[in-house]
Copies of this chain bind each other. A is one copy, B any other.
Amino acid sequence: MPFQLTADFIEKIEQLIAKKDGSALRELLHELHFADIAEILEELKSDDALYLIKLLESDLTSDALMELDDDVREKILDRLSPKEIAKELEELDTDDAADIVAELDEEIQQEVIDKIKDEEHAADIVELLNYDDNTAGALMAKELVKVKETWSVAGCVREMRRQAENVTRVHSIYVTDKDGKLTGRLSLKDLLTASEKTKISEVFIPKVDYVTVHTENEEVARIMQKYDLEAIPVVDEEGILVGRITIDDIVDFIKDEAEKDYQLAAGISQDVEADDSVWELTRARLPWLVLGLIGGLGSVYIMQGFEEALERFPVLFFFTPLIAAMAGNVGVQSSAIIVQGLANDNVKGSLFNRLLKEVGLALINGIALGVLVIIFGFIAGQDQLVSITIAISMLSVIIVSALIGTFVPIILDRKGIDPAIATGPFITTSNDIFGIFLFFYISKIVLGF
With both chains docked as a complex, state the minimum distance between the C-beta of A52 and any C-beta of chain B, in angstroms: 19
B326–A289 contact, CB under 8 A?
yes
Q: Which residue of B lies closest to A189 (CB)?
A: B164
* A417 in contact (CB, < 8 A): no
Q: A247-B230, A268-B333, A320-B320 are in contact. Are A293 and B436 (CB under 8 A)?
A: no
* A71 in contact (CB, < 8 A): no
With both chains docked as a complex, state the minimum distance between the C-beta of A147 and any C-beta of chain B, in angstroms: 13
* A314 in contact (CB, < 8 A): yes
* A24 in contact (CB, < 8 A): no
- Which residue of B1, B225, B278, B373 is within 8 Å of A293 (Cβ)? B373
Q: A2-B209, A318-B300 are in contact. Are A288 and B333 (CB under 8 A)?
A: yes
CA distance A7 to B300 in the complex (A): 50
* A223 in contact (CB, < 8 A): yes
* A134 in contact (CB, < 8 A): no
B337–A322 contact, CB under 8 A?
no
A432–B325 contact, CB under 8 A?
yes
Q: What chain B residues lie within 8 Å of A263 (beta carbons)?
A: 336, 340
Q: Work out how many copies of this chain go into the complex.
A: 2
Kindly state the interface size class of chain A when it binds its partner. 35 or more
Q: Which residue of B lies closest to A165 (CB)?
A: B189
A346–B274 contact, CB under 8 A?
yes
Q: What chain B residues lie within 8 Å of A446 (beta carbons)?
A: none
Chain B proximity mask over A255-282: 1 for CB below 8 Å, otherwise 0: 1001101110111100011110010011
Besides A160-B192, A275-B347, A320-B321, 7 other A-B contacts (C-beta < 8 A): A2-B223, A259-B340, A266-B335, A274-B340, A286-B369, A293-B322, A321-B432
A interface residues, Cβ below 8 angstroms from B: 1-2, 31, 33, 35, 157, 160-161, 164, 169-171, 188-189, 192-193, 207, 209-211, 223, 225-228, 230, 247-248, 250-252, 254-255, 258-259, 261-263, 265-268, 272-275, 278, 281-282, 285-286, 288-290, 292-293, 295-297, 299-300, 303-304, 307, 310, 314-315, 317-326, 328-330, 332-333, 335-338, 340-341, 344, 346-349, 354, 357, 360-361, 364-365, 368-369, 372-373, 376, 423-425, 428-429, 432, 436
